[in-house]
Amino acid sequence: MNQRAQAATVAERAPLGAGATTVDSGLPQVDVQKKLFTVRYKADKESHLAIRDPQICLACKDKPCLYFCPAEVYKWEEERITIAFEGCLECGTCRIGCPSHNISWRYPRGTNGVQYKFG
């Protein structure tokens, strides 16, 4: 079986929910924190991201926010989604990708948040 087919099969079989933050899909494991260290931020004091209704996350089977966020802002810890908003790259993917539109999203106030040096 080639790597692609294998990756697809493993991804389909991967366990859902509790604690699973990374699916072993045969892809390289990446420490996103190392990538985020290259990014300059001006940290806002309060989060610009919020879960509207935690009950919806509890009932959400797939929790795709644990995967599609390029900064791994969302983690599933102790039966709830935690939000590491300080690492947010402000792309907006979670706003569109959450199947229940359960993420309340605004830009960080003023000039806070990501400050790209290269762009």
Q: With CB under 8 A as the rule, give the number of residues binding another protein.
A: 51
Dist CA 101 CA 96 (whole Å):
7
| Residue among 72, 74, 81, 102 that touches another protein (CB under 8 A) | 72
Dist CA 107 CA 92 (whole Å):
9
User: Minimum Å distance from CB 79 to another protein?
Assistant: 20
CA 30 from chain center: how many Å? 14
Place of tokens 């959400």: 60
Dist CA 31 CA 25 (whole Å):
15
Place of tokens 């830009």: 107
Candidate segments 49-57, 65-73, 76-84, binder of another protein by CB under 8 A: 65-73
Instruction: Closer to another protein by CB, 19 or 111: give it.
Output: 111
Dist CA 63 CA 77 (whole Å):
12
User: Per-residue contact track with another protein, 20 to 49, x per CB under 8 A?
Assistant: --xx-x-xxxx-x--xx-xx--x-------
Q: What residues line the site for another protein (CB under 8 A)?
A: 2-4, 7-8, 11, 14, 22-23, 25, 27-30, 32, 35-36, 38-39, 42, 62, 64, 67-72, 89-93, 95-97, 99, 101, 105-107, 109-111, 113-119
